Structure 1
Amino acid sequence: MGSVYKYGNRKSPVPDNHIQKLPDNWFDQRVDHFNTNDTRTFKQRYFLNNKYYKTGGPVFLLVDGENEGQDYLITKGAVSEYANRFNALLVDLEHRYYGQSVPTKDLSVENMQYLTVGQALKDTEQFIGYLNRKLSLNNNTTKWIAFGGSYAGNLVAFLREKYPHAVAGSVASSAPVQVRYDYKEYFVAVSKSLGTECSNQIRLAVNQLENQLRTPIGWEAIGNELNLCSPLNGTDKLSVKHLMFGLTAPFTIAAQYNGRANTIGVDQLCALMTNGKDVLSPLQRYAKVVGQYFNGQCIGSNYSQYINIIKDISIPSPAGWIRQWTYQMCTEFGYFWTTDDTDTPFGHNIPIEYYLSQCADIFGKQFTPQFIQKAIDRFNDNYGGFKLNVTNVVFPNGAVDPYHELSIVKDLNNSTRAILMKTTGHGADMDPTLFTDPRELTDARLAIQKQIQLFLQ
């Protein structure tokens, strides 16, 4: 099986040394908010941090996305620093179907029909009302500000759009609000972030790999060079695509996060790829980068084995959060990174068909290309995408992060502002303040704080 789970590299990183300290709290949430005849409930987990709270202060709600709920950002992140400034109560709400907040007995396709953005937004709106009652907060005077990063950044932006009575404003960090079927621009943006010289070396290495894929001798060489878990069969086209996608992970992580939370940064990675002092070939350097990323573990290349892992419907899932996230991609988001654009250093072995095969093979033949395309179009129509109709939201983004291409990078109106930082990655503004932070990141947090002040007036 090897390092198959690292292929889903959309999850925001958390420092390795973080240990959860806040106790679990639970809220009885409805399974289906939109069927009055369905009275089922489930336990949704949340965390509270009242370290900075003073009576009459606001509530800062961190909305989780495609990961287990964790207290890191409301104890050590920038959100807690804002709470200190505004005497706010800090709350973290775990997303349905992730972590310990699972509404159904298993993760079958039938049961995951309740895993939608619409249900998650209603969860949040209902939770806010619940906590106001539980803590005897004044609905008219206690203001809530919602925070989220990446997918959760989408959620807090849409929360303000659909339920403006629930939150006075939102901070939507690195939020790719414009979902996309064939996101072929992703790898182009990665290449741009890595720079011309680094991308050229990657292109040379991938060209060598693609040449080796033509013969059985080459398949064996690839297995040895890249430490594959099992022999590669080059006639198995889906396994080839799966391998080539997995090998992009070190480069997408570097571009997307640029050194956040113990990930390798662009400069560090590209120094390895462009090292003119060694006698290694581009492919050998590429293999070295990949080996360091997977930390000596063998690399899974068997597509069928990967699919069988993701098809397991048990809870907890042996695939962690990947089954749920893949379902959301196939039913609402897309975000399918492809090499369908000619201007990419990663070859042409990751077409849209690779992802469409996954949707059908994991969830059923009803997941046709037409079904998926229509679902994504419907999502953009419902939530607005680039034409989001919303007030009181701030959208911080890092230009190094490929996902900024799908976010809001220009002000939408006087109260919905965009902040674009040239050198930072995905969600960097949510991290704790460090003395090594670039000036633009410091300025961005000050601008966010100013917007929060305006939202609270």
Structure 2
Amino acid sequence: MYGMRGPPVPDNHIQTLPDNWFDQRVDHFNTSDTRTFKQTGGPVFLMLDGEAEGTDYFATTGAMAEFASRFNAIAVELEHRYYGQSVPTVDLSVDNLRYLTVEQALKDTDEFIGYLNGKLSLTNTTKWITFGGSYAGSLAAWFREKYPQSVAGSVASSAPVQVRYEFKEYLGVDSQSLGTECTNQVREAFKQIEDQLKTSQGCQLLTKQFNLCTPMNGTDLDSVHNLKFNLIVPLGMAAQYDGQIPLSVGKVCAMMMTNVSIKQPVERLASVQSEYLSGKCLDYDWIKYVNQLKETSKTAPLVRAGTCTELAFFITTGLEDSPFGRNSVPVDYWTKQCTDVFGNEFTPESIKKAVDKFNAGYGGFKPNVTNVVFPNGSVDPWHALSVLNDLNNSTRAVYINGTSHGSDMVQTKPTDPQVLTDARLAIEKQLHLFLQ
């Protein structure tokens, strides 16, 4: 539910590009620190990668590559620091993660542009456009805001630029995307889960219904919250990536509405979960989960950039009439992760303060930018934190009804709905204006 999933497998992948490397500074803002690390970029439209290993998909096959072909542009991708092979430190210890910030990532981009200008002998009249989706879409917008001299414009797809401590709206949009009847079945399922958690017999039944990796006892509140969040994830992912992954809104709701007279709602929700996990058991144990997040090797799973220090985006069930249970996923579920994984200095108060400071510095819903286009899909829950109305004559919102997270970024297909085709044409129009 956080960030972009891996790029899709294209119908006709054009080529596999070799990795290219340049020496990037570990800390751009400490002149006495001369350390560098190798950061890789693809082979001037620049796709900023987010919280995953960089690929050549967007530079060779996705919508940006198609735009680059029409504009006769060089297509480049830059892997985000700390992801894939671009890790600047020997491990992912708490102390070493202090370089994982938006400010450092933006400066990485500026340094890379300067480097490639020199390597390719580009002239001062060469114009750059940054692209990105989800968190990387926000980076693309923020880069245009903070380094307007380096880039002529940006395409910020599905970009949540309003940083939010408690992101209650995510599941609100998810409920709307699922529709009233489907959401009512989900509501009944979570009511039944609440009832079953109150008894040992009910916990045993939950263990069996949801194929839990270890028996549920219902007394460990952290593990209960972790279980409930994991049960919500498939429903959120179905809306976020509707039409891009097999478990779509339509499929989820078909499963929740099938055999209503035979199966209980909780049983139908269990079927959705089984489909999402491909039959694997659901591991919800809090201690095990926290220990995984505390791993510090370079290959360890890395939490999303800035979760506990800048951006938060804590998805909760805090809306008044949440169909997932009002207290199923409280904001404490997230702040406790920050404390348990990174230390006692990460508190709700420190995280709120960091979020407020970030919004003050970057503008939230109203970043101080020109020449940015913000495409968003109506089904995507993340659109609630993006720019949905034009900010000025050169900063435009493109709202795409019926589409999901980053739909405009993938390879065009003959089956694309007209609204998506029209959105890409609107983006292309803005690119013409940016490059005048």
Question: Separation in 1 of the partners of 2:209 and 2:216?
Answer: 12
The alpha carbon displacement at 1:299 in A equals: 0.5
Question: Separation in 1 of the partners of 2:260 and 2:215?
Answer: 32
| Matched-pair identity in % | 57
Q: Which of 439, 443, 447 is equivalent to 2:418?
A: 439
Q: Which of 335, 351, 366 is equivalent to 2:313?
A: 335
1:156 corresponding residue in structure 2: 140
Q: Which of 27, 31, 47 is equivalent to 1:32?
A: 27
Question: Separation in 2 of the partners of 1:234 and 1:153?
Answer: 40
Tell me, yes or no, if the aligned pair for 1:257 and 1:263 is still in contact at 8 Å. Answer: no
Amino acid at match of 2:31: T
1:296 corresponding residue in structure 2: 279
1:451 corresponding residue in structure 2: 430
Q: Which of 54, 79, 85 is equivalent to 1:69?
A: 54
Please, which runs of 5 or more residues in structure 1 have no aligned partner? 1-7, 49-58
1:218 corresponding residue in structure 2: 202
Q: Which of 366, 373, 381 is equivalent to 1:402?
A: 381
The alpha carbon displacement at 1:132 in A equals: 0.5
1:111 corresponding residue in structure 2: 96
The alpha carbon displacement at 1:17 in A equals: 6.8
Tell me, yes or no, if the aligned pair for 2:163 and 2:355 is still in contact at 8 Å. Answer: yes
Tell me, yes or no, if the aligned pair for 1:188 and 1:343 is still in contact at 8 Å. Answer: no
Question: Separation in 2 of the partners of 1:142 and 1:185?
Answer: 41
Amino acid at match of 1:116: T
2:371 corresponding residue in structure 1: 392
Q: C-alpha offsets along residues 395-437 of structure 1, whole Å, 9 cap, x if unaligned?
A: 0000111111100000000000000011000100001111111
SS in 1 for 2:413: coil
The alpha carbon displacement at 1:78 in A equals: 0.5
Tell me, yes or no, if the aligned pair for 1:9 and 1:249 is still in contact at 8 Å. Answer: no
Tell me, yes or no, if the aligned pair for 2:6 and 2:52 is still in contact at 8 Å. Answer: no
2:220 corresponding residue in structure 1: 236
Question: Separation in 1 of the partners of 2:318 and 2:403?
Answer: 27
Residues 235-254 of structure 1 aligned to structure 2 (within 5 Å): 235-254=219-238
Normalising by structure 2, we get a TM-score of: 0.97
Q: C-alpha offsets along residues 272-325 of structure 1, whole Å, 9 cap, x if unaligned?
A: 1112576221111111111000001110110010000110111111x2x3x3x1
Q: C-alpha offsets along residues 364-418 of structure 1, whole Å, 9 cap, x if unaligned?
A: 0000111100001011011101121100000000011111110000000000000
Please, which runs of 5 or more residues in structure 2 have no aligned partner? none
The alpha carbon displacement at 1:181 in A equals: 0.4
Q: C-alpha offsets along residues 308-346 of structure 1, whole Å, 9 cap, x if unaligned?
A: 0110111111x2x3x3x1x61111111101112122211
The alpha carbon displacement at 1:15 in A equals: 2.1
> RMSD of the alignment, in Å?
1.3
Tell me, yes or no, if the aligned pair for 1:9 and 1:253 is still in contact at 8 Å. Answer: no
Normalising by structure 1, we get a TM-score of: 0.93
Tell me, yes or no, if the aligned pair for 1:330 and 1:367 is still in contact at 8 Å. Answer: yes
Q: C-alpha offsets along residues 37-66 of structure 1, whole Å, 9 cap, x if unaligned?
A: 111100001111xxxxxxxxxx10000011
Q: C-alpha offsets along residues 86-106 of structure 1, whole Å, 9 cap, x if unaligned?
A: 011100000001111000001
Amino acid at match of 1:25: N
Residues 264-275 of structure 1 aligned to structure 2 (within 5 Å): 264-275=247-258
Q: C-alpha offsets along residues 99-130 of structure 1, whole Å, 9 cap, x if unaligned?
A: 11000001111111111000000000010000
Q: Which of 108, 118, 125 is equivalent to 1:123?
A: 108
Corresponding pairs, count: 433
Q: Which of 206, 209, 223 is equivalent to 2:193?
A: 209
Question: Separation in 1 of the partners of 2:6 and 2:22?
Answer: 26
2:294 corresponding residue in structure 1: 311
Runs of 4+ in 1 over 6 A off after TM superposition: 17-20
Name which of structure 1's ranges 264-273 and 404-413 shifts more when overlaid on structure 2: 264-273
Question: Separation in 2 of the partners of 1:230 and 1:9?
Answer: 26
Residues 48-63 of structure 1 aligned to structure 2 (within 5 Å): 48=43, 59-63=44-48
